[in-house]
Amino acid sequence: MPKTLTAEKTTVDETAKTTGTRGSSKKRKTKAARRAMRLAYRTRRGMAPIYATTVQAIAGSALAQPADGWKTALAATTVGAATTVAWGRWEGHIGKRHLVKRRLPTRADFIAAASAVTTSGGLVTAMAATGGLQLGHSPYPALLVAWGLGHGIYWWRRGKNTAAPAPTLSKQMQAWQDNIACLDGPLPHSRLVDVVTTDYGWTGVIIVNKGTWRKAYAASAEIAGELDLPEDMVQIEKAVGQSAKRAIIAVFNVNPLQKGTDYPGPHILDTTTGQAEVGIFYDGAPARYAFWKPSGPVHTVVYGATDGGKSRFLDMLLSTERHNGIVSWVCDPQGGQSLPRWREAVDWYEDTAQGGLAMLHDVRRIMYERSARYSLMEWVDHKGRRLRGRDHFVVGDPDPLISVTIDEAHRVLNLQGAPALVLEIIQMARKCGIKIRLVFQGPKANMFGNDPESTDIREQAQSGNTVMFRTASKLTDSIGLPDWDVNPSSLPMYWPDKTSTAGLGYIKGPDNRQAQFRAHFDRDPAHWATTGTTPTIERSAAAVTSKAYNERLDRLAARLRGETPVLPDDAFQDSTTDPARLVPSSDPIAQAAAAIANEAPAGTDDRVAAFLAERGRPVGRNTIAQETKLTVSAVKNALTRLKNKGQAVAVDRGIWAHPDHADTPIEATEYADAA
């Protein structure tokens, strides 16, 4: 049988069981205290008057124990009153700059706070001076209850009104909510935010409920109707860099573009970026046009109906080119009527469609000459490495940018072979420093010729700058500016005061804003056409052109005499026919090498160095070219090489000297020849 163990309980065992640590009364008291503290913390806002009354009773009784406890109570009351005044009314500042940026309390809150602090301090001081609370036979318990009820009622009533009142909507936002964002409005459940009043009306940001900003643009006419405004007084565009749901709306009292701006001058071109400020948007921001980018020139296409502003826009661009060293070739097939100021102010001007075609043939020749030459060119990259063969164009190094403008371009492109020629140039000329600017009435396909290349020409040209003034057909708006939600055909012909809107349109350039802009107005193109000097192509490029280029001034003189000049036989051939100007080989690289030899004859560096030493003072590049019988381009290249050898010093922009004469003062006349 298993053994049975018997344990006898003793008094010690019973005591240990009774006084064990688990579930002891001490621990239960600790938990209860914690719960009470948590409850007091959660109800601290609503129970604040009761807590304050209790603290006063305790403080009055505690400070009554020492003989001078009332002094401590009085000092605390004084400090509390001063702090309350500072909280309620002090706002420090130095001049117009605030030291403390905060919202001051209301007058009622300030009075209630001041009353609570001073009366509370008075009660505590009185209790400390007279022996404490003294329950049963003193007025202090009743006074504390009265203090707690009086200030508690204000505190509790104020707590019910702490929710901020709904902000008052501006009249624009209210009108939007009532007429446009309503269920039967153009943009249900949309919001209008960030409303700002401007000199011309107001602007804001639309946040559509469903869809993208295009939904807001599509409803622009309905929005104008709901706001009781003309359609052209409401402008909606994409909020660039923000959510696709957001669109910017501008509402005009008077269209800010109505007044327009005058062309300030050729300095609108920033030669460091290749961009020019050619007009302004409706909000006053500059509208930019790219002449070139780091990779090379930027092609351009300009559209616009009659009186849309095309000719004045071209006047501005040609003025800018002439005074910034850009070579301009212009074809105006209307007999020169669109751009008459530039007949004698550009390097080459033709006033017939056939002349424009001859010009394109010579552009192609220069393109291949430069291409072959650049493929052999030595240059230094950003890391200081000397390389051979450059795959991009640098303005002025060594050749100028050539800008070819063809007005009424459809007349040239309808000639046999012209579309293929233009497409070849547009696709290849940028690396060679040549830009094409085509000008049309509209973007219809037949404007670009009837050949298979027509669509490609339009796509390639529109990949650069696209400027679209008022057009005549809504059906073609999306062709000229694909993926843009704008309607140039809806632009008005006249402003409300019956003046022309010429120059009003849209520009796809560096800014890429789908917003109305207005081009600067060149009021006096003749001034810019008759001042300064005409930039011309480099000698190596001129060496491969046809007689059409070399006899251009003779034909112009004949035209001015009333005669009808005839283009030379070689104008439309693929190569020149003048034996005196032909190079021995038809190989483009050999032609380029020969052109370089003509551009920089043997001993060029020695001639330039000897001239600088003999001159004895700083001198401009043009003067060096005239005295040494070299081209300006050859002189520039020679000076660069001499600088690397330490035989020439660039004293100022375009002014050079022998190292021994670098400190000699520069004569004023030399600045004129520093180009």
Q: Secondary structure of 449-481 in the HEC alphabet?
A: CCCCCHHHHHHHHHCCEEEEECCCCHHHHHHHC
Question: Can you tell me the distance from the alpha carbon of 66 to that of 460, in angstroms, rounded to the nearest whole number?
Answer: 97
User: Among 90-99, 342-351, 564-573, where is mean pLDDT lowest?
Assistant: 90-99
Lowest mean pLDDT among 29-33, 193-197, 423-427, 536-540: 29-33
635: CATH: 1.10.10.10
- The model's pLDDT over 196-247, given as tens digits with 9 standing for 90+, comes to 888 888 889 999 988 898 899 888 889 989 888 888 788 888 888 888 999 9
Residue 530 forms part of a structural domain? yes
Least confident range of 522-526, 544-548, 658-662: 658-662
Residues 206 and 308 in one domain: no
Give 338-376 pLDDT, tens digit per residue: 899 999 999 999 999 999 999 999 999 999 999 888 888
Q: Is the pLDDT of residue 647 over 50?
A: yes
Q: How confident is the model at residue 149 (pLDDT cuts 50, 70, 90)?
A: confident
Our separate counts of H helices and E strands in the chain read: 24, 24
In a domain, 269, yes or no: no
Percent of the chain surpassing pLDDT 90: 26
Q: Tell me the C-alpha distance between 571 and 632, whole Å.
A: 27
Distance CA 485, CA 478 (A): 8
Q: What is the mean pLDDT of residues 518-532?
A: 93
pLDDT digits (tens, 9 = 90+) for 592-619: 555 554 455 557 888 888 888 888 888 8
Span of 133-137, 274-278, 407-411 with lowest mean pLDDT: 133-137
Evaluate whether residue 125 is within a structural domain: yes
> How many domains does the chain contain in total?
5
The verdict on 135 and 216 lying in the same domain is no
- Predicted pLDDT at 133: 73
115, containing H or E segment: helix 107-130
> Please, which pLDDT band fits residue 30 given cuts at 50, 70 and 90?
confident
Tell me, yes or no, whether 272 lies in a domain.
no
Largest CA distance in the chain: 149
β-bridge partners, 386: 380
Please state the rounded mean pLDDT for residues 654-659: 86
> Last residue of some domain: 190, 217, 252?
252
Same domain, 471 and 575: no
230: domain CATH number?
3.30.980
Does residue 535 fall inside a structural domain? yes
The answer to whether residue 271 sits within a structural domain is no
- The per-residue pLDDT for 450 is 74
CATH code: domain of residue 468: 3.40.50.300
380 vs 466, higher pLDDT: 466
pLDDT above 70 coverage of the chain, percent: 85
pLDDT of residue 463 exceeding 50? yes
Q: Among 103-107, 225-229, 417-421, which is the least confidently predicted range?
A: 103-107
Of 13 and 282, the structure prediction assigns the larger pLDDT to 282
What integer pLDDT is reported at residue 432 of this predicted model? 92
pLDDT of 584: 38
Q: Are 405 and 532 contained in the same domain?
A: yes
CA distance 78 to 95: 31
Same domain, 660 and 614: yes
DSSP per-residue string spanning 286-347: EEEEESEETTEE--EEEE--TTSSHHHHHHHHHHHHHTTT-EEEEE-TTTT-SSGGGTTTSS
Which one of 127, 159, 191 terminates a domain? 159
Same domain, 397 and 513: yes
User: Would you state the pLDDT for residue 81?
Assistant: 77
pLDDT at 278: 95
What domain range includes position 341?
A: 298-541
Task: State the CB neighbour count (10 A cutoff) for residue 151.
Answer: 20
Same domain for 536 and 592: no
Half-sphere exposure of 386 (CA within 13 A, CB side): 3
Sign of CA dihedral 310, 311, 316, 320: positive
372 lies in the same domain as 487:
yes
Which range, 46-55, 150-159, 262-271, 666-675, has the best average confidence (pLDDT)? 262-271
Domain boundary among 159, 183, 217: 159
Domain check: are 129 and 179 in the same one?
no
Same domain, 190 and 307: no
Q: Are residues 332 and 479 in the same domain?
A: yes
* Selection from 287, 297, 356 nearest residue 321 by Cα: 297
Q: What is the pTM of this model?
A: 0.61
Neighbours of 522 (CB within 10 A): 25
More confident residue, 665 or 5: 665
d(CA 286, CA 518): 10
Q: What CA–CA distance (Å, rounded) separates 664 from 349?
A: 43
For residue 49, is the peptide bond before it cis, meaning its omega torsion is within 30 degrees of 0?
no
- Domain assignment present for residue 287? The answer is no
Q: Do 434 and 565 lie in a common domain?
A: no
Report residue 569's pLDDT band, with 50, 70 and 90 as the boundaries: confident
Q: Which pLDDT value is given to residue 265?
A: 94
For residue 568, being part of any structural domain is answered with yes
